[in-house]
Amino acid sequence: MTHAQTQAESRFDRGQRALSRIDGSAGEKVIASLADIAPDFARYVIEFPFGDIYCRPGLGLRDREIATVAALTALGNAAPQLKVHIEAGLNVGLSRDEIVEIMMQMAVYAGFPAALNGLFAAKEVFAAHDAKAVPSS
């Protein structure tokens, strides 16, 4: 393997490891769903947000997910991505209560409807989590 391939792979690979670690299977589903419409965009999602940004050492993953959950709740126009990042928040160490606190705080900056819709998204994600956690026996 040439050095060039190592380099090229490492940005993508680093991104894929970060995506797995942070978004888990929800992130992989997003990538898979791009395969037949915009495979290059799947690569960009892995390389730029995850390979470049989330891997930077200057801010921890828990802090980064606080920022993302807050921003997506405030913007209020990306419900599917918000759910992925509520999940991601849980994956990197935010508690359910902390996620709820972030959303309540967004009432101050983006209005009560944005906060309410964030809370209802969280409720859905938490319920799905609980459903998965129930033993099958």
**Token couple for 25:** 């299977």
Considering only 18, 22, 26, 72, the residue that binds its own copies (CB under 8 A) is: 72
CB of 82 to its own copies, least distance (A): 8
Question: Does the protein bind its own copies through residue 116 (CB under 8 A)?
Answer: yes
For its own copies, the closer CB: 97 or 136? 97
Question: Does the protein bind its own copies through residue 114 (CB under 8 A)?
Answer: yes
**Token couple for 57:** 């050492």
CB of 29 to its own copies, least distance (A): 12
Is the Cβ–Cβ distance between 72 and 108 less than 8 Å? no
Considering only 103, 129, 130, 134, the residue that binds its own copies (CB under 8 A) is: 103
How deeply is 40 buried, as exposed, middle or buried, from its count of CB atoms within 10 A (0-12, 13-18, 19+)? exposed
Give dist(CA 28, CA 23) in Å, integer: 8
